[in-house]
Amino acid sequence: MLSEAMKRPLVECIPNFSEGRRPEVIEAIVRAMRSAGGVYILDITSDPDHNRSVVTFAGTPAAVEAAMFAAIRQAAELIDMTQHQGEHPRLGATDVVPFVPLRDVTMDECVAIARRLGQRVGEELGLPVYLYEYAATRPDRQNLADLRNASFQYEQLKEVISTDPARMPDFGPAELGKAGATIIGARAPLVAFNVFLSTPDVRIADQIARAVRHSNGGLRYVKAAGFLVEGQAQVSMNLTDYRRTPVARVMEMIRREAARYGVTVTCSELIGLAPQDFFVEAARWYLQLDKFVPDQILEMRIQRAEAAEAELIAAEPPVPEDAARPMPAVEPVPPAPAAFVEAVAAGTPTPGGGAVSALAGALSAALAEMVARLTVGKKRYAEVEQTMQAVAAAAADLRARLLAAIDEDVAAFEKVLAASRLPKDDPHRSQALQEATIRAADVPLEVARLALEAMRLAGQVAAQGNVNAASDAATAVFMGLAAVEGAALNVRINAAGLDDPQLAARYRRDVATLVETARALRESILQTVEARAALA
């Protein structure tokens, strides 16, 4: 049992956005999530036929709530429901937002998050909000299908929202704009699972869905509908309690029903993520492992051993100072930074300015993380405890991604060199060089974006963090700006080598915006630091 001090609350959120054909829109929404809160983006799944994307992310309750508000705001700006078409039923740009308790969080706490977020979205963004599942304020809204289904979507809601009392939102105005409405709730884990059939006849998928779903007398805890996806009929399902109705039982029923119509199952797909138990139960049933226990899984046994070791270490009393024996002198090993600097200075093309920019960004994130951790646990900063925990987690994620970008930048430039060394009469040389150049522009562009996020985190700790580390926050800003400026220059240089003028212009436009934002952010944060440290 974890003590209160050791609890690490974790909430999962799986928002569904009404956009599956423009990856740049989903990228912008995900960037907004990362910028607003220290969350872990676990999965992004898009479907052009459904014209829908599902993002799975997790974090502390405060971080998840902040990230989701930013995502709803961004989606409302970029997705126009009056132009939206797709197979999947939908009410709004951000269609459904479920919160799921994962660790050290109760369902009641997730309900509170859902209702608090719903009220804020309604008041600040002016969007109609409906609460569902455990967060529902009335029984007829607990089931998502009662709020939105194939016969009642955005177009139908627009006609009746202001006149039908049954359709009045829980929060926000009783009118529907281009961003539509948002459904927010709290629920237990479910699995989104689709099965494809060897026919384009969607009527067969409809009949099979009718047979397996609970509302028509089928399997308990199964919601299902038929769609046409990529030329194949699909039975699309939500398994709301995979423990009580295992996926193997669902799959076998679909196979039997499909056989009645002379078709077969061609494949299945998982949308987003699923708990380990979901797969374990399927394996147990299909392999007839009657005596199987989860502890037989190698990784689980290792995790248990590591947890026991960590518990033992935590329980051990500190070793008295006089009990320590002197260790023999060891030849000092050059630290990794020294090795990297030597590699940069070696006179080889890589690592070069792109890799150095990525390192600068990683150092910016590391300093922001440091200041956040120096703030956590201090009574003076108790009000920002959760915020600083979220910042530390977000900064750690950025730090890891920027460090990984060092190797990515080196690899990208090596591909450019390899393509340029191909014989000039090689028919594949031009295409290889263009593809390598695009990759060499993409990596520093991502570095610039990540470094800007690190600067924003530095700004947060500069304004709210431990004032004794204000200079560290300012240094994080300087390092972040250096990363953005250096990476942006690399993007521009690579863009100049592209044959596609429109693509080159887009790269230049994107980095110009990032640099302008970073420079303005530097000035704003430095003013904050000077004021808090009484330097002004």
Cα–chain-centroid distance for residue 42? 5
Question: Nearest to residue 178, comparing CAs of 70, 93, 74?
Answer: 93
Q: What amino acid is encoded at 170 in this protein?
A: D
Contacts of 8 (CB under 8 A, 6+ apart): 2, 103, 104
How far apart CA 14 and CA 104 sit, in angstroms, is 18
How far apart CA 518 and CA 484 sit, in angstroms, is 7
Q: What share of the chain is helix, strand, coil (3-state, %, to 5)?
A: 55, 15, 30
Question: Nearest to residue 234, comparing CAs of 203, 213, 188?
Answer: 203
User: Which one is catalytic: 50, 84, 88, 214?
Assistant: 88
How far apart CA 269 and CA 161 sit, in angstroms, is 35
Asked if 84 is an active-site residue, the reply is no
Q: How many CB atoms lie within 10 A of CB 438?
A: 18
Tokens of 97: 């937002």
Tokens of 208: 């099979």
User: What is the 3-state secondary structure of 267-311?
Assistant: EEEEECCCCHHHHHHHHHHHCCCCCCCHHHCHHHHHHHHHHHHHH
Helix, coil or strand: residue 233? strand
Q: How many CB atoms lie within 10 A of CB 41?
A: 16
Which amino acids are annotated catalytic? 88
